[in-house]
């Protein structure tokens, strides 16, 4: 059982000992720290409002009640969206003119996990400095609660399913007319969480025939909720059986989007962003893009094809968002199927991704598989090397950067070495003595071979 405290929130397994797991006491303590932080940021505000939402995890209602009542006890007004998605809460915060937001979800982690993800007044994830301040507040318990006449209020708002969809449909590049004309048939795997409600509702508004698979939001995940190929055999078979145009898969909090082609093959999480970017850049006549250092080179290729500039950020959504703002990016995201479209909001949003992708497919008038085959083919290998605690990981990374200094080397997040037709990214873990090794090349064999070579070079360094 585990409890992980980081600058992006608190995450852990339900039950067990306080401080070692995500117990009710830990949830209250961290919600108190966040509430105290929000109050400190808004000293002149007569009333402070926080938006709350959760995915369909079994523990969600219990954690939500604890967090909501803690905030009320701090004198904060709570707007509870109930069963929701991460991007829906992000959209709701500015629409509600709230000072912050909390999403209760452990994303792609199994059902025994839950987490508090924290937002600022823009509906964006907190930066590192803000996260550190909340961790210090939680540790010191430097927060005081409201007296009885100053308690916050609590109200439910279940209108944001429709509001979020409305915000998506009004985006200029979402071509509702073209999508309806295409008469798509789509299979949706909602992993028995809120995507099983929100994605079919969006598809209905787009005139898409929807075949639902695991769309009951009961929190009983029917397979590992991370949308990877090995977990998606059921939907792959059903897409073929139902003669659907494609399959749509989201994780429990609906910020990662994976697609299945009509023949049951994976479109590829990395290529969700590539396809959406291709559409947006094509319609705009160019523009800049951003993804993180561990994402596919295919986005760079597509961006340059449209005359734009691609930039890589450090890993982490908050880093991607900041780089997008710095480079005036029209679309960006992460290679795990996370689409960030600034015309909507600065957060990964599968509803936006679905609408943009279907618009693209409708305009292309080709099959999902044909669209996938039109993009450069790259293959990834993801490995790690376990080290002993005594080993200086930073020294290893510095040595590797120096060894390949004649190549294109980026050190903003570990070490990424770009070769002519392949790359390797080395990142150290913040919690254990591990170096994660990501490689990409024009074939799986080449990607695996590059990873094996780098692992051997690291072993030579630590001899």
Quick check: pTM over 0.85?
Answer: yes
| The pLDDT of residue 257 | 97
- Kindly report, residue by residue over 274-318, the tens digit of the pLDDT: 999 999 999 999 999 999 999 999 999 999 999 999 999 999 999
Note whether 144 and 50 are same-domain residues. yes
Note whether 312 and 409 are same-domain residues. no
Q: Please say which residue of 158, 175, 204 terminates a domain.
A: 158
Q: Please say which residue of 111, 133, 158 terminates a domain.
A: 158
Pair type for strands 185-189 and 246-250:
parallel
Note whether 193 and 291 are same-domain residues. yes
SS (H, E, C) the chain: CCEEEECCEEEEEECCCECCEECHHHHHHHHHHHHHHHHHHCCCCCCEEEEEEECCCCCHHHHHHHHHHHHHHCCEEEEEEEECCHHHHHHHHHHCCCCEEEEECCCCCCCCEEEEEEECCCCCECCHHHHHHHHHHHHHCCCCCCCHHHCCCEEECCCHHHHHHHHHHCCCCCCHHHHHHHCCEEEEECCCCCHHHHHHHHHHHCCCEEEEECCCCCCCCCCCCCCCHHHCHHHHHHHHHCCCCEEEEECCCCCCEEEEECCCCECCHHHHHHHHHHHHHHHHCCCEEEEECCCCCHHHHHHHHCCCCEEEECCCHHHHHHHHHHCCEEEEEECCCEEEECCCECCCCHHHHHHHHHHHHHHHCCCHHHHHHCCCCCEEEEEEEECCCCCCHHHHHHHHHHHCCCCEEECCCCEEEECCCCEEEEEECCCCCEEEEEEEECCHHHHHHHHHHHHHHHHHHCC
Note whether 340 and 395 are same-domain residues. no
Residue matched to tokens 């909507």: 344
- Kindly report, residue by residue over 427-443, the tens digit of the pLDDT: 998 767 899 999 999 99
Q: What is the mean pLDDT of residues 403-415?
A: 96
- How far is residue 171 CA from its own chain's centroid? 21
Note whether 349 and 234 are same-domain residues. yes
Note whether 368 and 386 are same-domain residues. no
Is the per-residue pLDDT at 374 higher than 70? yes
Note whether 95 and 228 are same-domain residues. no
| The pLDDT of residue 440 | 97
Is the per-residue pLDDT at 147 higher than 70? yes
Please give the Cα distance from 188 to 371 (Å, whole number). Answer: 19
Note whether 214 and 83 are same-domain residues. no
Note whether 37 and 88 are same-domain residues. yes
Note whether 147 and 169 are same-domain residues. no
In the chain, how many domains are there?
Answer: 3
Print the domain residue range for 455. 379-461
CA angle 395, 397, 403 (to 5 degrees): 100
- Kindly report, residue by residue over 69-114, the tens digit of the pLDDT: 999 999 999 999 999 999 999 999 999 999 999 999 999 999 999 9
| The pLDDT of residue 8 | 75
CATH no. for residue 436?
3.30.310.50
Is the per-residue pLDDT at 3 higher than 90? no
Give the confidence band of 406 by pLDDT, cuts at 50, 70, 90: very high
The mean predicted confidence, pLDDT, of the chain is 95
Give the confidence band of 1 by pLDDT, cuts at 50, 70, 90: low
- Kindly report, residue by residue over 173-224, the tens digit of the pLDDT: 999 999 999 999 999 999 999 999 999 999 999 999 999 999 999 999 999 9
Q: What is the mean pLDDT of residues 381-400?
A: 91
CATH no. for residue 54?
3.40.120.10
Note whether 302 and 403 are same-domain residues. no
- Kindly report, residue by residue over 320-358, the tens digit of the pLDDT: 999 999 999 999 999 989 999 999 999 999 999 999 999
Note whether 151 and 64 are same-domain residues. yes
Q: Please say which residue of 318, 342, 373 terminates a domain.
A: 373
Residue matched to tokens 């880093």: 319
Is the per-residue pLDDT at 462 higher than 90? no
Which active-site residues does the annotation give? Answer: 107
Length of the chain: 463
């Amino acid at each position: 059982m585990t409890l992980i405290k980081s600058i992006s929130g608190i995450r852990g397994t339900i039950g067990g000992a306080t401080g070692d797991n995500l117990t009710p006491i830990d949830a209250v303590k961290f919600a108190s720290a966040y509430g105290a932080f929000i109050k400190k940021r808004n000293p002149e505000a007569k009333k402070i409002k926080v938006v709350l939402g959760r995915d369909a995890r079994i523990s969600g209602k219990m954690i939500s009640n604890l967090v909501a009542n803690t905030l009320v006890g701090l004198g904060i007004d709570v707007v509870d969206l109930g069963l929701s998605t991460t991007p829906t809460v992000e959209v709701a915060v500015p629409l509600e003119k709230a000072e912050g937001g909390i999403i209760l979800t452990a994303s792609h982690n199994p059902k025994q996990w839950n987490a508090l993800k924290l937002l600022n007044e823009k509906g964006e994830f907190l930066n590192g400095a803000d996260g550190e301040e909340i961790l210090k507040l939680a540790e010191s318990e430097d927060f005081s609660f409201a007296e009885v006449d100053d308690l916050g209020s609590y109200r439910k708002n279940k209108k944001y399913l429709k509001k979020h969809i409305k915000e998506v449909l009004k985006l200029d590049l979402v071509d509702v007319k073209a999508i309806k004309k295409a008469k798509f048939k789509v299979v949706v795997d909602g992993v028995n969480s809120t995507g099983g409600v929100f994605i079919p509702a969006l598809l209905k508004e787009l005139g898409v025939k929807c075949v639902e698979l695991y769309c009951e939001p009961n929190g009983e995940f029917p397979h590992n909720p991370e949308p990877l190929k090995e977990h998606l055999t059921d939907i792959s078979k059903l897409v073929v059986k139902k003669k659907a145009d494609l399959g749509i898969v989201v994780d429990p909090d609906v910020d990662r989007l994976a697609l299945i082609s009509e023949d049951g093959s994976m479109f590829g999480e990395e290529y969700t962003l590539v396809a959406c970017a291709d559409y947006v850049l094509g319609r705009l006549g160019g523009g800049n893009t951003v993804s993180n250092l561990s994402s596919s080179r295919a986005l760079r290729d597509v961006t340059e094809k449209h005359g734009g500039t691609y930039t890589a950020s450090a890993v982490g959504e908050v880093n991607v968002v900041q780089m997008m703002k710095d480079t005036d990016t029209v679309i960006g995201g992460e290679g795990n199927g996370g689409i960030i479209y600034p015309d909507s909001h600065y957060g990964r949003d599968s509803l936006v991704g679905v609408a943009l992708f279907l618009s693209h497919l409708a305009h292309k008038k080709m099959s999902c598989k044909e669209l996938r085959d039109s993009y450069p083919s790259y293959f990834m290998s993801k490995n790690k090397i376990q080290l002993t605690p005594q080993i200086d990981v930073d020294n290893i990374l510095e040595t590797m950067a120096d060894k390949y200094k004649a190549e294109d080397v980026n050190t903003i997040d570990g070490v990424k070495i770009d070769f002519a037709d392949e790359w390797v990214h080395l990142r150290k873990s913040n919690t254990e003595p591990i170096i994660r090794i990501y490689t990409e090349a024009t074939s799986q064999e080449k990607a695996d071979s590059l990873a094996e070579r780098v692992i051997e070079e690291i072993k030579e360094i630590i001899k």
